[in-house]
């Protein structure tokens, strides 16, 4: 393996050792505990964070593509079954962004030869139900809400493009272009409150990543280039993608890194590649050593704290650690691009 692959492997071992545990004492189950060291509720997966688990599953697929293993494939199979079990036998919930992320992970699981057709059908159907003509199209953030945003429409567009529904994917992406992309900076705003018409202009690395990914799936390469340069100028100081804290924000930078890495081999410019590799270097060199391997910082430009962690340290969060692992897997593909 290359040095980049070695680092990704070390991140995988650390996340698996610290976070992967069985659920409710049931044999053969496995999910990621939301925190480490875990609270009492995290030990029993009471707060289990459906969409964090979707990204953990997606990153397990990254690892399987990097270094195929029968043991990991069995783990992925168990993980998928446990996720559905913990979701009380269902594939979906009321958040369209959540289920789009699980759908993307399951599409890639299916490419490994595991049967996840039931999950993909349920997710595809629910995502299509989210589309309305309000505010010119797009899907809602969640069922019964008044908010349409990039975090839902972006991954849904990627999902539909990958299932072969290019026209529907293009409609979602065009809605984002018309409603959420700043025409001057090419940064992607968070969302639109349909009832009031208020644009929520928060700039999250997450939103840049999902719009980039949607444009990439549709081969809108001019838009891809614009977004990458906007990212480099505005949300990656000194070439390192900025962090956005713990909790849900812990995943934002890793999501952007995933789609930058997918774009990099297709572009003449080296900007996307440099962003991923510089971020990966900062992430790796800033990690703290623990008995379970590297502990990654919530902000890759800043070193991670040493043990013991403060009760409110964002580095405790599964989201933060999966995001760093996702980044390191993305960097490893730039030596040997191989994944979708």
123-133 pLDDT per residue, tens: 999 999 999 99
pLDDT > 90 in the chain, percent: 97
Q: How far apart are CA 1 and CA 77, in angstroms?
A: 25
Per-residue model confidence (pLDDT) at position 47: 86
Mean pLDDT within 256-273: 97
Q: Considering only CA atoms, which of 236, 206, 228 is closest in space to residue 301?
A: 236
The reply to whether 100 falls in a domain is yes
Per-residue model confidence (pLDDT) at position 25: 93
Read off the pLDDT band of 2 (50, 70, 90). Answer: confident
The count of structural domains within the chain is 1
Q: Domain range spanning residue 157?
A: 3-306+314-329
- Please check whether residue 111 is in contact with residue 338, taking contact to mean a CB–CB distance below 8 angstroms: no
Mean pLDDT within 11-30: 97
Q: What is the pLDDT of residues 301-317, one digit of tens each?
A: 999 999 999 999 999 99
The reply to whether 339 falls in a domain is no
3-state secondary structure at position 40: helix
- Helices 205-217, 221-234: crossing angle, 10 deg rounding: 160
User: Number of C-alpha atoms within 13 angstroms, CB side, residue 32?
Assistant: 29
268 Cβ contact list (under 8 Å, min separation 6): none
The reply to whether 301 falls in a domain is yes
Q: How far apart are CA 115 and CA 112, in angstroms?
A: 9
3-state secondary structure at position 303: coil
Per-residue model confidence (pLDDT) at position 243: 97
Neighbouring-strand partners of residue 38: none
The reply to whether 61 falls in a domain is yes
Phi, psi of 199 (to 5 degrees): -85, 125
Q: What is the pLDDT of residues 191-211, one digit of tens each?
A: 999 999 999 999 999 999 999
The reply to whether 69 falls in a domain is yes
The reply to whether 32 falls in a domain is yes
Mean pLDDT within 135-141: 98
Per-residue model confidence (pLDDT) at position 335: 84
Confidence (pTM): 0.97
* CATH number (domain holding residue 208): 1.50.10.20
């Amino acid at each position: 393996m290359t040095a980049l692959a070695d680092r990704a492997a070390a991140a995988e071992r650390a996340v698996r050792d610290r976070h992967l545990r069985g659920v409710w004492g049931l044999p053969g189950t496995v999910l990621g505990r939301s925190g480490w060291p875990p609270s009492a509720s995290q030990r029993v997966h009471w707060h289990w964070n459906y969409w964090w688990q979707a990204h953990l599953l997606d990153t397990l697929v990254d690892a399987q593509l990097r270094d195929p293993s029968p043991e990991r494939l069995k783990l992925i199979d168990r993980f998928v079954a446990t996720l559905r079990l913990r979701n009380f036998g269902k594939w979906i919930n009321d958040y369209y962004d959540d289920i789009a992320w699980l759908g993307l992970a399951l599409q890639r699981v299916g490419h490994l030869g595991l049967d996840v057709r039931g999950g993909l059908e349920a997710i595809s159907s629910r995502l299509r139900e989210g589309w309305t003509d309000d505010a010119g199209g797009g899907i809602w953030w969640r069922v019964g809400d008044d908010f349409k945003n990039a975090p839902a429409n972006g991954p849904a567009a990627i999902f539909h493009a990958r299932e072969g529904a290019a026209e529907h994917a293009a409609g979602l992406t065009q809605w984002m272009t018309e409603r959420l992309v700043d025409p001057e900076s090419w940064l992607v705003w968070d969302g639109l409150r349909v009832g009031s018409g208020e644009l929520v202009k928060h700039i999250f690395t997450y939103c840049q990543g999902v719009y980039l990914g949607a444009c990439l799936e549709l081969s809108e390469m001019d838009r891809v280039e614009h977004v990458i340069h906007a990212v480099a100028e505005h949300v990656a100081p000194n070439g390192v993608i900025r962090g956005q804290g713990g909790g849900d924000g812990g995943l934002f930078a890793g999501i952007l890194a995933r789609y930058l890495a997918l774009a990099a081999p297709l572009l003449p410019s080296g900007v996307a590649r440099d962003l991923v590799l510089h971020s990966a270097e900062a992430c790796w060199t800033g990690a703290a050593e623990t008995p379970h391997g590297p502990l990654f910082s919530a902000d890759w430009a800043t070193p991670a704290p040493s043990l013991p962690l403060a009760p409110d340290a964002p580095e405790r969060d599964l989201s933060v650690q999966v995001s760093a692992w996702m980044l390191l897997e993305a960097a490893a593909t730039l030596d040997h691009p191989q994944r979708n």
